[in-house]
Structure 1
Amino acid sequence: MSIARIYTGGCQCGAVRYRAEGVLEDPHLCHCRMCQKAAGNYFLPLANAARDSFSVTRGEPGWFRSSEHVRRGFCRDCGTPLFYDMPGERFINIVLGSLDDPEDVRPHAQSGVESRMFWFAQIARLPEKETDVAGQAGREHHLAILESNRQHPDYDTDHWPPED
């Protein structure tokens, strides 16, 4: 269950940042086909933030009206999905993976299950592995990615990208 606090988040490149105060309500996974397409994934994790305690703190998201009733906010620079918005409602949905600490909000329900992948019940049985950095080539590749990483850190910054 979400607790009352300050939640911050943003896109991968840091061009768009946001802040929500209070409780993130109705944390859920939406499996509907429209959310699948918007996320480029098998589902979209969402939670409601009260509109009166929500603000964009950096940049301006792009918006795509995916239906007559819904618009979806995203970063125009890196494409990160950020918001599911029904203008006129008292809340805006935040895409949970865009939170600085996404583990803070655990989904309690699923919606759009008619479009859920039938094989999801098998996920826990799939083989698992951590990021492979074994051997010199693996370490060099991992270090090259770390050294060229352009991903915004999981906290607010005064300036982004960092000044050289």
Structure 2
Amino acid sequence: MKTGSCLCGAVAFEITGELRPSVACHCTQCRKTSGHYWSATQVPDAQFNLTKDEGLTWYQSSKSARRGFCRHCGSALFWQMDGEGATSIGTGTLDGATGLHTSKHIFVKDKGDYYDIADGLPQLDTY
């Protein structure tokens, strides 16, 4: 089991089962919500449990997806695609060592011009 939370602790969660490798998203929405690109793992909703949600707020960021964040400290935490049955979880919100690695970069056509991607991982223009 893995645990995680926002910066202030008003949102906390547990994850059971295997975590997907982290994916780095460079789309404009992820860059706007995080201040840079956003890296996330993902689990089926059945393996995701909120243990504290007093600060959790959901924002409908597009017609087909929403983002969860803490309304107290501003931490960007979750992303959910409508009907997918899975939750993407900001890798940096996990407690302790994750054992994860980044597997690829997505939406690199939207990346900021102030950085380069030079880690040799696959780079996709979209998803």
TM-score range, shorter chain: 0.7 to 0.9
Q: Distance in 2 between matches of 1:90 and 1:71?
A: 13
What one-letter code is carried by the residue in structure 2 that aligns with 1:101? G
**In the aligned structure 2, how far is the partner of 1:22 from the partner of 1:54?**
9
Distance of aligned partners of 1:109 and 1:9 in 2 relative to their CA distance in 1, 3 Å threshold: same
Q: Is the 8 A contact 2:67 2:80 kept in 1?
A: yes
Q: Which residue does the alignment assign to 2:103? A: 108
Deviation of 1:121 after TM superposition, in Å, equals 3.1
Please name the residue that 2:123 is paired with. none
Whether contact under 8 Å (1:96, 1:102) holds in the other structure is no
Deviations 1:13-60, CA, capped at 9 Å, x for gaps: 001101111111242100000110111x22000111111010100124
Q: Would you say 1:8 and 2:9 are equivalent positions?
A: no
1:24-103 aligned at under 5 Å gives the runs 24-39=19-34, 41-60=35-54, 61-101=56-96, 103=98
Q: Match for 2:19: what amino acid? A: L
Distance change >3 Å, CA 65–CA 122, structure 1 → 2:
closer
Specify the alignment match of 2:16 in structure 1: 21
- Which is further off, 84-93 or 115-124? 115-124
Structure 1: stretches of 5+ with no match in the other structure: 1-5, 125-164
Q: TM-score, normalised by structure 1?
A: 0.66
Largest Rg, 1 or 2 = 1
**Aligned-residue identity in percent:** 32
Runs (5+) with no aligned partner, structure 2: 120-127
How many residues align structurally?
118
One-letter code of the match for 2:17?
Answer: G
Q: Which structure shows the higher strand fraction?
A: 2
